[in-house]
Chain A
Amino acid sequence: MSVTFLGMPADRPFPRNAARAVRDSQLRFNLRKATGTIRARRAGVVAEAPDWAELREAGKAIKEHTLRNLDRYLVQLEEAVTAAGGRVHWAAGAAEANRIVADLVKATGETEVVKVKSMATQEIGLNEALLEHGITAYETDLAELIVQLGDDRPSHILVPAIHRNRAEIREVFAEHMSGWGRPAPDDLTDDPAALAEAARLHLRERFLKTKVAISGANFAIAETGTMVVLESEGNGRMCLTLPRTLISVVGIEKVLPSWRDLEVFLQLLPRSSTGERMNPYTSMWTGAAEGQEFHLVLLDNGRTGVLADEVGRQALRCIRCSACLNVCPVYERTGGHAYGSVYPGPIGAILTPQLRGMGSELDRSLPYASSLCGACYEVCPVAIDIPSVLVDLRSRARHSWPERAGMAAAGWVFERQGRLAALQRAGGRLRRFVPRRLPGPLGRWTDTRDLPEVPRESFRDWWDRTDGGRR
């Protein structure tokens, strides 16, 4: 099987990436501030919904049921979209999806496209692929624009430029806007409103004249063929509405059975993601709306492999709200780049190794990028038990031989009560000789951990000797 591409090189393991990231104090400051803000906002609007627990339960069940019947719903979606005048394409992997999109764009005769932020197109590296065909893709989401202008990488699902503060954003705009179109005003300040205004002016002309747009979708309704995109800025509406041709690249797990299911997800998603009662704009369209040409590209790219895994398949319930990133103590300190994938944070730690396999050192290290505190599970609007999937993946990662030998020895000892007791007594007698740190290469382990004190007497021996403290 070919290796699933996830939009980023996977060269170094997580701990090395993380060690570098945590030395960047500006990054840590930006992240702490941003995730702190969003956590408080989310908590407020979630507390306001009296039936949050029931919505979450329903969201989980709807997604479970959909995944269980995914073949049926995908076919139904295809029929509904086709009946409404759209065209449906199927892509097994990233290369195929990129080829389909490039061909569709070329068929229009255009060489420029506008894009709404979409995880799926980042995952397949669509912009780079289009460039090889002489097609320039312009990102229009403010954060994506910051990333694209700064020749940077996204570091958060929802706020890809979360690692940048306003002063850095000003720098990026002032320096690079002119290379991509209308330059930033000379007197640009780092006032967020001024930065937003600069983005508005920079992109407006492009929106008005570009003939092809590429988007993803948050949901695709099988029953009606309706596509749903949630956004804030209006760049999504611009892309979805103005161009003559619209191409949406959508992961196969985005399908929902019925129109009615939106009553659940349009409550779960905005409150979990930006911490608002509702995001500023949600667009819904069915097939070729208002005379537009509409193409839906359904993307597998490793998802069916995840679906086959009994424990791991729940990761496909994810609605990409990013709540788990914002509460994660590891993400808050390392940021998204350390995860080496377009899917960072807790969800990335379980999704990336499943989509990409555990062939590289990075992907084997991702299930360990967690303290297993469980905060991600608690906030997840579709109740993905991320810690359990992490533990399951850990058991599957290939371990180093000293670790395997150590675990085998421990297994042998714990297998029989007598073996354990004998070892404990020996340890009690030799306790003076137990070092504080392990020797040789094993010392790496004790660099960050303390070895437990060995007691003079084991608990079991104490219990036998004193009859549970009564003697």
Chain B
Amino acid sequence: MSSRDLILNRVRRALAGVPDVEIARAYRGPTSAPGDIRLFEQRVRDYRAVVHVVDEAGVADRVARSLAGRGARRVVVPAGFPSAWSAAEGVAAIADDPPLSAAGLDEVDGVLTTCAVAIAETGTIVLDAGPGQGRRALSLVPDYHLCVVRAARIVAGVPDAVARLDPTRPLTWISGPSATSDIELNRIEGVHGPRTLEVLIVT
């Protein structure tokens, strides 16, 4: 007998006559209400990420100032990221086409992305490799990640995000910069992912 059949048979034998249970979903489910921008801002900040709130007209300028502040000269800009936002003076916008090698990604100063969904209650941004986000490695290897979040993408809680996302896409949920709790159980920012996360909320 194959191990597959062996395991499945054992499972069936173990379960013979065991009653099923009802799943009551009495918790707060998805809402149609938009997420609270202030709450999102606060919660992202709680993770010690840098947060700015700007209007549409102010995005390009804010991006330019953030990059200048870090002295970033070469940044990866994934396909579909609004070009008007990344036209900062003195900054080379590098496309991931042909795809950059991991070592190549390690040499850039940062990455600009948008996001698929953002969650107010938990201060989370979710990337789904859609337009403006690129493949997963882009927001991982560089040490600096600037994410532009349109207010319309902000949802209230986790159930709203799950309802909006497409599981067939590779998803990355990001809540603050890379961190560890492994040393005496205190959260310390900055291990393998980007050590600086900057979030721009566009109202």
Is B193 interfacial (CB-CB < 8 Å)?
A: yes
CB-CB under 8 A from A368, the residues of chain B are none
Is A13 interfacial (CB-CB < 8 Å)?
A: no
Task: Determine if B23 and A241 form an interchain contact, defined as CB atoms under 8 angstroms apart.
Answer: no
Q: 8 Å CB contacts to A: which residues of B160-175?
A: 162-163, 167-175
Report the nearest A residue to B15, measured CB to CB: A68
CB-CB under 8 A from A64, the residues of chain B are 21
Task: Determine if A70 and B11 form an interchain contact, defined as CB atoms under 8 angstroms apart.
Answer: yes
Is B87 interfacial (CB-CB < 8 Å)?
A: no
Task: Determine if B162 and A279 form an interchain contact, defined as CB atoms under 8 angstroms apart.
Answer: no
A61 to B179, alpha carbons, bound, how many Å? Answer: 32
Query: Which of A130-138, A140-148, A341-349, A420-428 contacts the other chain?
Result: A140-148
Task: Determine if A232 and B179 form an interchain contact, defined as CB atoms under 8 angstroms apart.
Answer: yes
A291-328 CB mask vs B (1 if < 8 Å, else 0) is 00000001010001101100001000000000000000
Task: Determine if B22 and A61 form an interchain contact, defined as CB atoms under 8 angstroms apart.
Answer: yes
CB distance from A26 to the nearest CB of B (A): 13
Q: 8 Å CB contacts to B: which residues of A398-443?
A: none
CB distance from A80 to the nearest CB of B (A): 10
Task: Determine if B191 and A233 form an interchain contact, defined as CB atoms under 8 angstroms apart.
Answer: yes
Known A-B contacts A50-B28, A232-B178, A281-B193; the reply to A162 vs B11 at CB < 8 A is: no
A71-87 CB mask vs B (1 if < 8 Å, else 0) is 10011000000001000
CB-CB under 8 A from A35, the residues of chain B are 185
Is B158 interfacial (CB-CB < 8 Å)?
A: yes
B5-27 CB mask vs A (1 if < 8 Å, else 0) is 01110111111001111111111
Is B83 interfacial (CB-CB < 8 Å)?
A: no
Task: Determine if B21 and A71 form an interchain contact, defined as CB atoms under 8 angstroms apart.
Answer: no
CB-CB under 8 A from A84, the residues of chain B are 168
CB-CB under 8 A from A51, the residues of chain B are 26-28
Known A-B contacts A34-B184, A62-B23, A192-B184; the reply to A235 vs B172 at CB < 8 A is: no
B22-49 CB mask vs A (1 if < 8 Å, else 0) is 1111111110000000000001001100
Task: Determine if B8 and A55 form an interchain contact, defined as CB atoms under 8 angstroms apart.
Answer: no
A423 to B179, alpha carbons, bound, how many Å? Answer: 65
A145-167 CB mask vs B (1 if < 8 Å, else 0) is 01000000000001101100110
Looking at the complex, which one of B6, B106, B162, B168 makes contact with A208 (CB distance below 8 Å)? B106
Task: Determine if A237 and B193 form an interchain contact, defined as CB atoms under 8 angstroms apart.
Answer: yes
Task: Determine if A241 and B192 form an interchain contact, defined as CB atoms under 8 angstroms apart.
Answer: no
Is A221 interfacial (CB-CB < 8 Å)?
A: yes
Is A289 interfacial (CB-CB < 8 Å)?
A: yes
Q: Size class of B's contact patch? A: 35 or more
A162 to B170, alpha carbons, bound, how many Å? Answer: 32
A196 to B195, alpha carbons, bound, how many Å? Answer: 11
Looking at the complex, which one of B27, B170, B171, B181 makes contact with A264 (CB distance below 8 Å)? B27
Task: Determine if B185 and A234 form an interchain contact, defined as CB atoms under 8 angstroms apart.
Answer: no
CB-CB under 8 A from A267, the residues of chain B are 27, 158
Is A392 interfacial (CB-CB < 8 Å)?
A: no
CB-CB under 8 A from A279, the residues of chain B are 175
A180 to B168, alpha carbons, bound, how many Å? Answer: 37
A193 to B180, alpha carbons, bound, how many Å? Answer: 10
Q: Which of A58, A62, A241, A290 counts the most B-chain CB atoms under 10 A from its CB?
A: A241
Is B66 interfacial (CB-CB < 8 Å)?
A: no
Task: Determine if B167 and A91 form an interchain contact, defined as CB atoms under 8 angstroms apart.
Answer: no
Report the nearest B residue to A56, measured CB to CB: B27
Query: Which of B53-61, B67-75, B120-128, B146-154 contacts the other chain?
Result: B120-128
- Lowest 3 A-B CB distances belong to which pairs? A234-B193, A308-B14, A234-B192
Measured CB to CB, the residues of A under 8 A from B are 30, 33-35, 37-38, 50-51, 54-55, 57-58, 61-62, 64-65, 67-71, 74-75, 84, 90-92, 96, 140-143, 146, 158-159, 161-162, 165-166, 169, 192-193, 195-197, 199-200, 203-204, 207-209, 221, 224, 226, 232-235, 237-238, 240-242, 252, 259-260, 262-264, 266-267, 274, 276-286, 289-290, 298, 300, 304-305, 307-308, 313
Interchain Cβ contacts under 8 Å between A and B, 10 examples: A90-B4, A232-B191, A234-B193, A237-B172, A240-B136, A266-B173, A280-B47, A281-B193, A300-B7, A308-B10
